[in-house]
Amino acid sequence: MRKKEIKNPEANQRKSLRNQAIQHLLLGILILILINTIGAFVFTRFDLTAEKRYTLSPATRQMLKQIDDYVFFKIYLEGDFPAGFKRLRNETRELLDEMRAYNKYINYEFINPNASSNPKERENVYRQLVEKGLAPTDLQVKSKEGESRSIIFPGAIVSYKGKEAPLQLLSEKIGVAPEEVLNYSIQNLEYNIANTIRMLSTAFKPRVAFIYGHGELGEEYIFDISRSMAEFYTVERIKIDGNINALTEHKIDSGRTSIFNKYKAIIIAKPDSAFSEKDKFIIDQFIMRGGKVLWFVDGVKAEMDSLQNKPTALALPHDVNLEDMLFRYGARINYDLLLNPNCLPIVMVTGQIGNQPRFSLVPWMFFPLLNPATRHSVVNNLNAVRTQFVSSIDTIPVKNVKKTFLLNTGQYTRKASTPVIIDLKMAGQDPDPKLFDQRDVPAAVLLEGQFESLYKNRIPPSISEAKEIGFRESSRPTQMLVVADGDIIRNQINRRSGVPLPLGYDQDTRQTFGNKDFVLNALNYMIDESRLVEIRSREIKLRLLDPRRVESERLRWQTLNILGPVVFVLLIALLKFYLRKRKYAKKYETPK
């Protein structure tokens, strides 16, 4: 009887514990069901990274909401790659998964373009990808066994509603270590992917116009940038020629006539002759109605063509009658030239080999490379921008106008005021440090705000009060870009075939600079209401391992990574076994 009484409390305790476990299980299942039910109506994700790298920007999320059909990515980043390219592949997959969490129409597939063992089939795949717009990369991998080479296509073909567009995942960055190039590419993944989706899904394209009639660049020199802009905008060329309605249109609503801009933005690319006051008035009123303007204007008259027949030339001020206009808006292009040892080389005869001249690339300080002057989204992480005879820019205090310098020359800059003697003998010479005593001289500025008309209080009432003109003294909030070099927007022409080359590509050095990205970023920043370009201001920190320590301590860390977890689990198991044994030994210990 006593034995039975002893057993009953233990049985009751086990039963109570079992009931508690069942209750906890049922409660956990109920909580999971409740969380999933709430999750079906309320969507959220948690990003615990320091720079919020897995959090999509509001502009991207807003754009994804408008996608109503499948967007399919064929990504050619599958295969045996070095760690850096695997990281780019994984980051691309994670970003697309993040986008798919917001929109079920995002789909992707990773493809290995080198999967075939047949060389002819591989070459056929390469040719098809190049024709679709993807640029190949010749990958060289160094290892202890030697060096291997392979062709890869770090990009994707994106399709949406029967349309296709190439997406380059690996960006170019001149003079930067490969690890930083990959990090830069990862930083811009969201912008590049979102921008490609926007390009394919945009039904209405805003109108943008190149102004001509004042000696601006011909169609062959703006061919590439026009083609690139046409992916997002309707691009036209317009000659003002004193026509008051060249940039505007009239709309009649309820008997009232309103005047609107035909174009979202106009581009003035390297004018060579003076603007008439009437043309300036028309442009001024275009700005007053909220129009955007991109000014690419030379401060000095200097061209390499003038040095072909003789080794010296005289550079003089280049006045196209825009100085007072830009001054009123808050900028001034100076009549000087900027020289810098960080420059683009030119091809020159440096000797003879037998009876044949020897050509070499020689640094030409009159072609300085411009770099981002700020972390503004237009130029953040931008590649160097190539120039030809660029001038400096100053700003003037103007009420309600914000000025942001975008590009500058960096260290060791010299300002040469006009008139300037340009001599080919200066090519390749070591610069005198005493003369190159300035730094970060600006050459491009972004103006934002409300501008005052150049013609305020300067025109008779017959013009200012005319209804068909609709004169405005101050502008709506708008922006303009002022660049002190017209060649920044000019593409080169292939010397052999006469075909226009991509903007920013230099056929002598075979390098691609950031000119096209700079122009497109500025235009997108001004016009694109989704503000996708602001994604480019995000920075992801590069956390690289020390390659020397990796090599010298490889065995140590491999051993620790393999044995460490096993030893840790065994220690936990032994500790748990010891505690369990001690617990039950005390519990069932027979009283003396």
The tens digit of pLDDT for each residue in 247-302 reads: 999 887 666 778 999 999 999 999 999 999 999 999 999 999 999 999 999 999 99
Give the pTM.
0.80
100 and 216 co-located in one domain: no
Please indicate, yes or no, whether residues 435 and 554 belong to a single structural domain of this protein: no
Q: Is 403 inside any structural domain? A: yes
| Same domain, residue pair 356 and 456 | yes
**Helix 189-201 × helix 58-65 angle, to 10°:** 30
Q: How far apart are CA 329 and CA 398, in angstroms?
A: 7
Dist CA 382 CA 539 (whole Å): 13
Q: Is residue 185 part of a domain?
A: yes
Helix (H, G, I), strand (E, B) or coil at 266: strand
Distance from C-alpha of 165 to C-alpha of 89, rounded to nearest angstrom: 19
Structure tokens at 418: 């006009």
310, 299 contact by CB (below 8 A): no
**Amino acid 78: pLDDT:** 87
Q: Which one of 144, 172, 198 terminates a domain?
A: 198
Residue 535 lies in a domain: no
Q: Cα separation of 234 and 236, whole Å?
A: 7
Which residue type, as a one-letter code, is found at position 501? L
Of the residues 198, 226, 243, which one is the last residue of a structural domain? 198
189 within domain boundaries: yes
Contact yes or no for 474/452 (Cβ under 8 A): yes
Do 193 and 211 fall within a single domain?
Answer: no
Same domain for 258 and 159, yes or no, is no
Whether 297 and 400 map to the same domain: the answer is yes
- Mark whether 346 and 417 lie in a shared domain: yes
User: What is the C-alpha to C-alpha distance for residues 335 and 484, in angstroms, rounded to an integer?
Assistant: 10
The answer, yes or no, to whether the previous bond of 368 is cis (omega within 30 of 0) is no
Host H or E run for residue 60: helix 58-65
Answer whether residue 526 is part of any domain: no
Considering the domain architecture, whether residues 153 and 239 belong to the same structural domain is answered as no
What CATH number does the domain containing 76 carry? Answer: 3.40.30
Q: Is residue 29 located within the same domain as residue 153?
A: no
Residue 534 included in any domain? no
Q: Which range of residues forms the domain containing residue 173?
A: 58-198
Same domain, 249 and 173: no
Parts of the chain with a pLDDT under 70: 1-10, 39-54, 139-149, 174-176, 253-255, 354, 530, 537-547, 584, 586-592
Of the residues 470, 488, 513, which one is the last residue of a structural domain?
Answer: 513
Measure Cα distances from 153 to 77, 81, 128, 182, 383 in Å. Answer: 7, 11, 11, 14, 21
179 and 216 both lie in a single domain: no
How many distinct structural domains can be found in the chain? 4
Give CA torsion, residues 171, 178, 340, 448, to 10 deg: 40
Distance between CA atoms of 349 and 459, rounded to whole angstroms? 56
Residues 138 and 20 in one domain: no
* 244 in a structural domain: yes
| Domain annotation covers residue 261 | yes
* H helix or E strand, kind and range, residue 360: strand 356-368
Q: Is 190 exposed, middle or buried (0-12, 13-18, 19+ CB in 10 A)?
A: buried
**CA–CA distance from 357 to each of 102, 353, 363 (Å)?**
62, 6, 19
- In angstroms, the CA 151 to CA 266 distance is 41
Is there a contact between 498 and 545 (Cβ–Cβ < 8 Å)? no
